[in-house]
Amino acid sequence: MCGVFGVTNTENASKIAYLGLFALQHRGQESAGISSTNSSEIISHKNSGLVIDVFKETDLSKLKGNHAIGHVRYSTAGGNSDANIQPLTARIGGVPVSLSHNGNIVNSEEMRQFLESSGAILQATSDTELILHLMARSNKKEFIAKLTHAFEELFGAFSLLLLTPTHLYAVVDACGYRPLSLGLLKNESKIPSWVLASETCAMDLVGAEFIRDISPGEILSIELATGKIESVFFNLTTQQSKSLQQAKCIFEHVYFARPDSLVWNMLANDTRFAMGEELAKNNPVEADMVIAVPDSGVPMAMGYAHASGVPYKIGLIRNHYVGRTFIEPTQNVRNFKVRLKLNPVRETIKGKKIIVIDDSIVRGTTSQKIVELLREAGAKEVHMRIASPPVKFPCFYGIDTPKRQDLLAQVMTANEMNDYLKSDTLSFLSEKQLLKVMQKFQKNTANENSFQENGGWCTACFTGNYQDEIAQQKGCGFIKELKNV
Ligand code: AMP
């Protein structure tokens, strides 16, 4: 997962980009970067670390120009080497280009082998560089044709921004896995000042108004000199377009997005509250209180409490300042890593029957430690309620869900998981229930593309139904392997 942000036609574009990235920090904390243009050259500044650490006032003042793009990185494909820090810059046919990419390209290994075998020298290990190489190799004359050409070769998830001295392009893959929204910044000029952001919370901070989402398969171009926008769509081969459907990542709503963001025009806070309500209707249990695993579980726990009538209490406090620590205490401080982050409110918990709401179980580490912490704090009963289905399959589209064998639900049934976590009871929202919740919200938004059979969501991490064959093979091959063992 990563966050991208772009802005055109505004003084101090790099400062606006900085604020946008600051609001998108939850989408990636590994590195940050901004590229700006004064309409002739592109200047960049990037480094590993948080936005606040990467940019000093002097760095921003060197990033001159009225147009800028930025990136916050959360490494999935390619690891965390410096060469992978974005935006990536290159010259294509003499034109300086800077690229910020969110998502994962599924056929990147195959594409990398193909490019290397035909003489390409690749610097980064991430999949983003491949886009620039494919554009550079394209025999098309026009820049936008090169761009379209490159994307016709790539499968998977990409929502990205590409800045040149004359244009800013916003691109979303044919399935629309990752969100990318267009907004407008108020200005005094006749030329509009456009904003593009992975999430609308970034628009709120810079005072921009949300206009619409970039559609699946859309390449939107903004002419920097005039602010004129135009869209073209990928010319996918019939075979590709037949098999590809809209597949918005449902995990954006479950976990990733900030609750104050409109994601595909649905407020994440509201969808999460409704997930909690649905969870309560289908999985009731008698208890004294509902508590959340903060922060992501909070709206869901409030929804659960609302629908069940069981009071919502604050039972776990999160320390927001946890970074990387090298200080490991002695063996007798158990659960140190989770304790650093979460502390149970002992006086509230003691002697009580507790319903704990979290958004998801991936490896099971968090839930297991939380049950242990709550028992140590004197809880009488601990009932785990998870507001999404069991994560059984890895994601190849940009969410860092681990290898298949590390996913708890891949190797255990729900009953076995309950024993493993040492909870009194454990239940999940089913895929059908989750889709029912999302369908309700889609009806309220005029997202007419979404009325596919399952509402146009990617739920592959729960079902193993990937859109493309490469992911299908990578993601489900293991099932066969497991059965053979
Ligand atoms: P785990 O401990 O591996 O079961 O992870 C589940 C916990 O991590 C939940 O509390 C989630 O809020 C959070 N989580 C879920 N998906 C991710 C992700 N891709 N990256 C980081 N944290 C996640």
Atom of ligand 1 nearest to the CA of 395: 19
∠ CA 234-238-243, rounded to 5°: 90
CA atoms within 13 A on the CB side of 371: 20
pLDDT at position 90? 93
Closest CA to 338 of 350, 348, 325, 349: 325
Q: What is the DSSP string of 441-464?
A: HHHHTT-GGG-STT-SEE-HHHH-
Q: Residue 203 and residue 261: Cα distance in Å, rounded?
A: 9
Determine, yes or no, domain membership for 257: no
pLDDT at position 123? 80
Check whether residue 432 and residue 297 sit in a common domain.
yes
Bridge partners (DSSP) listed for residue 383: 355, 425
pLDDT at position 71? 98
Bridge partners (DSSP) listed for residue 78: 76
Counted domains in the chain: 2
Q: Residue 65 and residue 199: Cα distance in Å, rounded?
A: 24
pLDDT at position 450? 46
Give 338-355 pLDDT, tens digit per residue.
Answer: 888 899 999 999 999 999
Determine, yes or no, domain membership for 249: no
Check whether residue 222 and residue 340 sit in a common domain.
no
pTM for the whole structure: 0.93
pLDDT at position 241? 60
Check whether residue 60 and residue 183 sit in a common domain.
yes
Check whether residue 359 and residue 239 sit in a common domain.
no
pLDDT at position 483? 39
Using the mean position of ligand 1's atoms as its centre, give its distance from the Cα of residue 449 in Å.
Answer: 30
Return the CATH number at 357: 3.40.50.2020
Determine, yes or no, domain membership for 223: yes
CB 107 within 8 A of CB 78: no
Using the mean position of ligand 1's atoms as its centre, give its distance from the Cα of residue 344 in Å.
Answer: 19
The burial class, CB within 10 Å (0-12 / 13-18 / 19+), for 476 is: middle
Ligand 1 binding pocket mutation candidate from 255, 300, 359, 426 (most atoms within 8 A of CB): 255
Q: Decide whether any atom of ligand 1 lies within 6 Å of the 293 Cβ.
A: yes
Check whether residue 216 and residue 320 sit in a common domain.
no
Q: Residue 282 and residue 384: Cα distance in Å, rounded?
A: 13
Check whether residue 39 and residue 125 sit in a common domain.
yes
Determine, yes or no, domain membership for 19: yes
Q: Decide whether any atom of ligand 1 lies within 6 Å of the 252 Cβ.
A: no
Decide: helix, strand or coil at residue 13: helix
Q: Decide whether any atom of ligand 1 lies within 6 Å of the 358 Cβ.
A: yes
Q: Residue 455 and residue 450: Cα distance in Å, rounded?
A: 5
Check whether residue 318 and residue 447 sit in a common domain.
yes
Closest CA to 100 of 34, 36, 27, 164: 34
Check whether residue 225 and residue 347 sit in a common domain.
no
Determine, yes or no, domain membership for 412: yes
Last residue of a domain, one of 209, 244, 279: 244
pLDDT at position 320? 85
pLDDT at position 484? 38
Using the mean position of ligand 1's atoms as its centre, give its distance from the Cα of residue 135 in Å.
Answer: 36
Atom of ligand 1 nearest to the CA of 401: 19
Check whether residue 239 and residue 271 sit in a common domain.
no
Give 79-88 pLDDT, tens digit per residue.
Answer: 667 888 999 9
pLDDT at position 437? 97
Return the CATH number at 17: 3.60.20.10
Q: Decide whether any atom of ligand 1 lies within 6 Å of the 247 Cβ.
A: no
Q: What is the DSSP letter of 404?
A: G
Check whether residue 355 and residue 324 sit in a common domain.
yes
Q: How many Å is the maximal CA-CA distance in the chain?
A: 72
Q: What is the DSSP string of 211-242?
A: EEEPPTTEEEEEETTT--EEEEE----HHHHH
Determine, yes or no, domain membership for 91: yes
CB 389 within 8 A of CB 462: yes
Check whether residue 446 and residue 376 sit in a common domain.
yes
pLDDT at position 482? 44
Q: Decide whether any atom of ligand 1 lies within 6 Å of the 124 Cβ.
A: no
Using the mean position of ligand 1's atoms as its centre, give its distance from the Cα of residue 158 in Å.
Answer: 22
Using the mean position of ligand 1's atoms as its centre, give its distance from the Cα of residue 454 in Å.
Answer: 24
Atom of ligand 1 nearest to the CA of 359: 12
Using the mean position of ligand 1's atoms as its centre, give its distance from the Cα of residue 393 in Å.
Answer: 14
Ligand 1 binding pocket mutation candidate from 291, 296, 360 (most atoms within 8 A of CB): 360
Give, using CA atoms, the residue closest to atom 15 of ligand 1: 360
Determine, yes or no, domain membership for 262: no
Residue range of the domain that includes 333: 267-484
Cis peptide bond prior to 295, omega within 30° of 0: yes
Decide: helix, strand or coil at residue 357: strand
Determine, yes or no, domain membership for 338: yes
Check whether residue 220 and residue 286 sit in a common domain.
no
Per-residue pLDDT of the chain (485 residues; tens, 9 = 90+): 799 999 999 999 999 999 999 999 999 999 999 999 998 999 999 999 999 999 999 999 999 999 999 999 986 656 667 888 999 999 998 999 999 999 888 888 888 888 888 888 888 777 888 999 999 998 999 999 998 888 888 888 999 999 999 999 999 998 999 999 999 999 999 999 999 999 999 999 999 999 999 999 999 999 999 999 999 987 766 556 656 788 999 999 999 999 999 999 999 999 999 999 999 999 999 999 999 999 999 999 999 999 999 999 999 999 988 765 555 555 556 567 788 889 999 999 999 999 999 999 999 989 999 999 999 999 999 999 999 999 999 998 988 777 888 899 999 999 999 999 999 999 999 999 999 999 999 865 544 444 467 889 999 999 999 887 788 888 776 544 443 32
Last residue of a domain, one of 244, 276, 291: 244
Return the C-alpha torsion angle 474, 88, 162, 190, nearest 10.
150
Closest CA to 467 of 476, 192, 413: 476
Active site residues: 2
Atom of ligand 1 nearest to the CA of 1: 19
Phi, psi (rounded to 5 degrees) for 11 = -65, 150
